[in-house]
Structure 1
Amino acid sequence: MCPLERVQVLLQTSAYHDRFKNTGQILRALRVHGYREYYRGLSVVLARNSLSNALFFTLKEPFKKTVVEIRPLRNRMFIQLVADFVSGAVLGASISTVFFPLNVVKNHMQSKVGVTFENPFYVFHLVWRKRQKSLRMLYLGVHLNFTRSLLAWGITNSVYELLRRSFKPCEDDT
């Protein structure tokens, strides 16, 4: 996961638009610096993914039950699908918003090539100062992340649950 996120960040970094045109170019350029360069920012990725997944899977079922209780169960399959989408979308987007500063730090770390590796806490301090020690500035762009997360988490969760139910039809879905 980390090398692909790294490539995505470099493709989105305007400083490299003239240097890198595609994934292959970036992967070849990173190889020159050793395998560690592919994994720059890995500690932040692991922290973000571990904490957000723990929250998501802890809160998913209780949140889904709350969504299902709001609507009568006339068309159970449709209600389940809507509940899966809504619970995944709202929960995923909310968690993504909470962890947005980790994404900012990760992007800052991964937008560099061939320089000294930096401690994530040091990078956070740099970003915090660069963004005028303002939470509002730290969360700059969060609305785009929230919107993307609503769709991505909603679709992913509803498809996952639909497939899970189709492979285990005898399981009780209450």
Structure 2
Amino acid sequence: MYHAFEVVKRNYSFKEYYRGFSIIVLRNSAANCCFFITKAELQKYSDVCDSIHKENLKNFCSGGFLGMFMSTLFYPLKVMKVTVQRQLGGPFIGFYQVAVLVYNRDGGGINNFYQGVLINASRSLLSWGVTNMTFEFLKKTI
């Protein structure tokens, strides 16, 4: 990683470190807001479990499936971010231009925005599940 930072610093401007920043901010802020608002609403209607194991499983499942849903919902923005960040140097292209570029790639179509979504959903299920379960456990323990 250090080598990559050095190559970018040596060959491109400082601005290159922020390629795709607006798409990242949009995706992360919208997805996280939706996740935490929905999680809070779900917890209002959730029963308290009688054992720590059931509570952990409930927190894993709720966080995992909610994270998987949000990650899938906002996946097109991730595809757009990766498309923008593939290029080093050159002009920075806007949101609309990236969307058109992704849409027209490989014969065109909306499917271009969802290539790899199943792998991403699987990863999100595990990572958000573990993160949510651990957070809720530590919140009660500490």
Normalization by structure 2: what TM-score? 0.91
1:24 aligned partner: 2
- Letter matched to residue 136 of structure 2: E
Pair 1:129 & 2:104 matched: yes
Report how far residue 135 of structure 1 moved: 2.5
| Aligned 1:79-94 pairs, distance under 5 A | 79-94=54-69
Whole-Å separation in 2 of the counterparts to 1:55 and 1:160: 18
Q: SS of the residue aligned with 1:147?
A: helix
Greater share of residues in helix:
2
Farther off after superposition, 80-89 or 131-140? 131-140
CA contact (8 A) 2:35 2:70 kept: yes
Pair 1:106 & 2:81 matched: yes
1:40 aligned partner: 19
Q: CA RMSD in A?
A: 1.7
1:37-58 deviation line (CA, Å, top 9, x unaligned):
1111000000001000110010
| Aligned 1:1-12 pairs, distance under 5 A | none
1:17-62 deviation line (CA, Å, top 9, x unaligned):
xxxxxx1221011113122111110000000010001100100133
Counterpart of 2:29 (choices 50, 57, 71) is 50
Whole-Å separation in 2 of the counterparts to 1:64 and 1:139: 30
Normalization by structure 1: what TM-score? 0.75
CA contact (8 A) 2:24 2:81 kept: yes
- Letter matched to residue 6 of structure 2: R
Unaligned runs of 5+ in 1: 1-22, 168-174
May I ask how many residue pairs the two structures share in their alignment? 141
Report how far residue 138 of structure 1 moved: 2.1
Q: 1:91 to 1:64 in 2, by over 3 A?
A: same
CA contact (8 A) 1:93 1:150 kept: yes
Report how far residue 137 of structure 1 moved: 3.2
- Letter matched to residue 58 of structure 2: A
Greater RCO, 1 or 2 (C-alpha within 8 Å, sep 6+): 2
